[in-house]
């Protein structure tokens, strides 16, 4: 196996671990359902790590057998390790940066609620200037981005019922907003976390039908298959998992789908 292939295997394992680590942090509230999903993800990573270990064992054998190329191979291995260490450092920096951004959003929303949105608190003064045009009749003055952030934080805190209602309000008031697609996905996720699998199926199917090029397609297909599986609809669950593997091969969700298909045999 050449160095390029070995690098690809190692980097794949690291990136998968990065996704699992970040996903756990973003969830904010671990439930039995989340733990089950995390175990499935860990199983995928463990299998790929085993493949990596097998590859490295083969490499060690090659080093012993090919004494003439021993020095070059050791140099290549050393270079690869250095590259992986750099990639790990970069990933760690990315984690910290993303966490800081999430915390900043959370603090900003919390401060806004304390200052202007809490019951009994002082309301933000309305300032009118001579040049400010009056609001057109029927036009909502809702801050769509803030509305979405509020709903997302509810998901992060595990307040799924409130999150569903908040996202539905966001969709109703901000139907043209670029995050409407994401809102539908998180409504489905919230239903899934509440084990309301019929509702989750409806939301994920709507998302996949309405947004055919959705960036959430692989995740929605996986959770659609899991919801079908929980409802005992094995044939439909298998169809969803097979479609996921066919259309989004190489994603973490596709690897998870392969594991689920083994359970449905």
Q: What is the pLDDT of residues 155-171, one digit of tens each?
A: 999 999 999 999 999 99
Q: Check if the beta carbon of residue 156 is closer than 8 Å to that of residue 27.
A: yes
Domain boundaries, the chain: 3-115, 144-263
Burial of 18 (0-12, 13-18, 19+ CB in 10 A): middle
Mean of all residue pLDDT scores within the chain: 75
Residue 111 CB partners (closer than 8 Å, separation 6+):
none
Query: What is the rounded CA–CA span in Å between residue 244 and residue 253?
Result: 8
Query: What is the rounded CA–CA span in Å between residue 255 and residue 49?
Result: 13
Token readout for 207 is 């998302």
Q: What is the reported pLDDT for 123?
A: 41
Q: Which whole number is the average pLDDT over 93-99?
A: 64
Q: Check if the beta carbon of residue 217 is closer than 8 Å to that of residue 247.
A: yes
Query: What is the rounded CA–CA span in Å between residue 68 and residue 158?
Result: 59
144-263: CATH superfamily: Tetratricopeptide repeat domain (1.25.40.10)
Each residue of 175-193: pLDDT tens digit? 999 999 999 999 999 999 9
The reported pTM is 0.54
Helices (H), 28-143: 32-65, 70-112
Q: Check if the beta carbon of residue 240 is closer than 8 Å to that of residue 224.
A: yes
Q: Check if the beta carbon of residue 158 is closer than 8 Å to that of residue 151.
A: no
Q: What is the reported pLDDT for 138?
A: 40
Q: Check if the beta carbon of residue 191 is closer than 8 Å to that of residue 199.
A: yes
């Amino acid at each position: 196996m050449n160095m390029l292939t070995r690098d690809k295997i190692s980097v794949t394992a690291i990136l998968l671990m990065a996704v699992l680590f970040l996903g756990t942090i973003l969830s904010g509230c671990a439930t039995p359902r989340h733990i089950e999903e995390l175990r499935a993800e860990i199983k995928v990573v463990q299998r790929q790590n085993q493949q990596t270990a097998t590859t490295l064992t083969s490499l060690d054998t090659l080093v012993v057998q090919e004494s003439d190329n021993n020095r070059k191979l050791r140099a290549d291995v050393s270079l690869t390790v250095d590259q992986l260490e750099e990639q790990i450092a970069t990933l760690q920096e990315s984690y910290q940066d993303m966490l800081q951004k999430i915390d900043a959003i959370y603090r900003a929303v919390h401060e806004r609620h304390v200052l202007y949105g809490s019951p009994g608190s002082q309301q933000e003064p309305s300032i009118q200037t001579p040049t400010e045009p009056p609001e057109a009749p029927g036009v909502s003055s809702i801050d769509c981005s803030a509305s979405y952030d509020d709903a997302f934080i509810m998901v992060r805190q595990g307040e799924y019922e409130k999150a569903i209602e908040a996202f539905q309000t966001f969709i109703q008031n901000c139907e043209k907003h670029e995050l409407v697609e994401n809102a539908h996905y998180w409504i489905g996720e919230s239903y899934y976390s509440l084990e309301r699998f019929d509702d989750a199926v409806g939301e994920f199917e709507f998302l996949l039908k309405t947004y055919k090029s959705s960036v959430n397609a692989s995740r929605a297909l996986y959770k659609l298959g899991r919801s079908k599986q929980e409802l005992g609809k094995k044939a439909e669950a298998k169809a969803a998992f097979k479609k996921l593997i066919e259309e989004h091969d190489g994603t973490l969700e596709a690897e998870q789908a392969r594991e689920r298909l083994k359970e449905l045999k």
